[in-house]
Structure 1
Amino acid sequence: MTYARKLPGYLINRFRGWRATHYTENKSWFRHLAQEGQHPRSMLIACCDSRVHVTAIFNADQGEFFIHRNIANLVPPYTPDGDHHGTSAAVEYAVTALKVAHLLVVGHSNCGGVRGCHDMCAGKAPELSSGSSFVGNWMEILRPGYERTADIADAEARIKAMELEAVRISLSNLMTFPFIKEAVEAERLTLHGLWHDIGEGGLSVYDSDTDRFEPVA
């Protein structure tokens, strides 16, 4: 059975265009990256959402960020004998091997994963709560965020609040990893929580002292 086929023509054309322009104009930089290895200063944990272009937001180039993406930019708690090792493995590699100085969790507006979690927790998405859904099992990480926003009557406002909760919960879970806690306390690593407004192009930063997200002017 043949299941892996040739690239679509439009992707081949885009690759050729990239190689003829961006790569050719920066060939020495790409060769430097290949020979010297990666030395990113920061790790970004972002959502898989195709509208969230995390490198473009910070005008970054190759080699600047170590990037991990998953549904709703979540980080599970430290559970060596549990599940969700993909994200945990990426975090471990970034902190212990690459020794990044900053770890950013980037949430965003209109997150489909967060909306799915809201509907699942509200009993409106049985396909996610069936136990056989990878997405549903993953979104259980955010269930405490649903419970903490129970006093918000308006569904859309609650979903936005849950998007912020996804960032808070991920930051809190990161601190359950012993190697992260140790690096933060030794001031070798700083954690940052962000929320990106796709439509308005805005960015808000979480302040743990005030427990608020403040817009970047």
Structure 2
Amino acid sequence: MTYFNDLLDGYQRFRTADYRRQHERWAQLKDGQAPKVMVIGCADSRVEPSQIFDTLPGEIFVVRNVANLVPPYETTPGHHGVSAALEFAVTKLGVEEIVVIGHGKCGGAHAALTEMFHDAERGDGGFVHDWVSLLDGAREKVKAKFGDSPDLGREMELETVRTSLANLMTFPFVKSRVEAGTLKLHGAYFAITDGELWTMGEDGEFVSQLKSAPALA
């Protein structure tokens, strides 16, 4: 079990090891960042994009939240954290690719599928239910197609990726760049049980990045 004091110990190891080994890299980053890829992932502690993709500091601009969701474009008053990060990455940093990565055993996808937070006490906030309601349409679609299949949970996890990619295209500054060919969108899925990475094709199906592996519907 890791606590804050353990994190401080980790910092000391980082400062005396990785930071020194990558000193030139950190020196390059001191005046700003210029990542070409934005990754939208889940806040789940088991799914760390920089580790999965083996990237260096400054290589990917990462946003993480419950169930790796992108809300649809809207301009109503509020605090739109994901939308703000997306706007910054696309219009200011000029990222050229956006990757939405879902994962196995996702608690957010499970919450949306089972509506387990539907009756949560408002004193607790009700934030989870409100957030995963973005997947209401995905839940109905998956249930209608797969019923009581044992793969229902996994299919819901895949659908979270498809939903976020569809919502990305509702943002005018994303849509215009995709259509102009200056921005590409990608879907991915990381299976925690075996560490396998799947990527989504243009047909919406997922194909393993390991050799001789079947596709995920």
TM-score under structure 2 normalisation? 0.89
Q: Kindly indicate whether residue 211 of structure 2 is the aligned counterpart of residue 213 of structure 1.
A: no
| 1:184-195 correspondence runs (5 A) | 184-195=178-189
Contact 1:129/1:137 (CA < 8 Å) preserved in 2? no
RMSD between aligned alpha carbons?
1.9
Gaps of 5+ in 1: 1-6
1:142 match: 135
Q: Could you tell me which amino acid in structure 2 is paired with residue 40 of structure 1?
A: P
CA distance in 1, matches of 2:201, 2:120: 32
Change (3 A) 1:200 1:8: closer
Change (3 A) 1:128 1:205: farther
Q: Kindly indicate whether residue 38 of structure 2 is the aligned counterpart of residue 43 of structure 1.
A: yes
CA distance in 1, matches of 2:119, 2:176: 40
Identity %: 39
Contact 1:76/1:84 (CA < 8 Å) preserved in 2? no
1:19 match: 15
Contact 2:71/2:82 (CA < 8 Å) preserved in 1? yes
* Aligned residue pairs, count: 206
Among candidates 159, 164, 168, match of residue 162 of structure 2: 168
Gaps of 5+ in 2: 211-217
Change (3 A) 1:89 1:186: same
**Cα deviations by residue, 1:64-117 (Å, 9 ceiling, x for unpaired):** 000000000000000111656100011111000001010000000000011111
Contact 2:117/2:126 (CA < 8 Å) preserved in 1? no
CA distance in 2, matches of 1:144, 1:150: 10
Structure 2 residue matching 1:149: 3-state secondary structure: helix
1:3 match: none
1:79 match: 74
Q: Could you tell me which amino acid in structure 2 is paired with residue 192 of structure 1?
A: H
1:100 match: 95
Q: CA deviation at 1:8?
A: 3.5
Change (3 A) 1:82 1:150: farther
Contact 2:169/2:175 (CA < 8 Å) preserved in 1? yes
Q: Could you tell me which amino acid in structure 2 is paired with residue 134 of structure 1?
A: F
Contact 2:117/2:128 (CA < 8 Å) preserved in 1? no
Structure 1 residue matching 2:26: 3-state secondary structure: helix
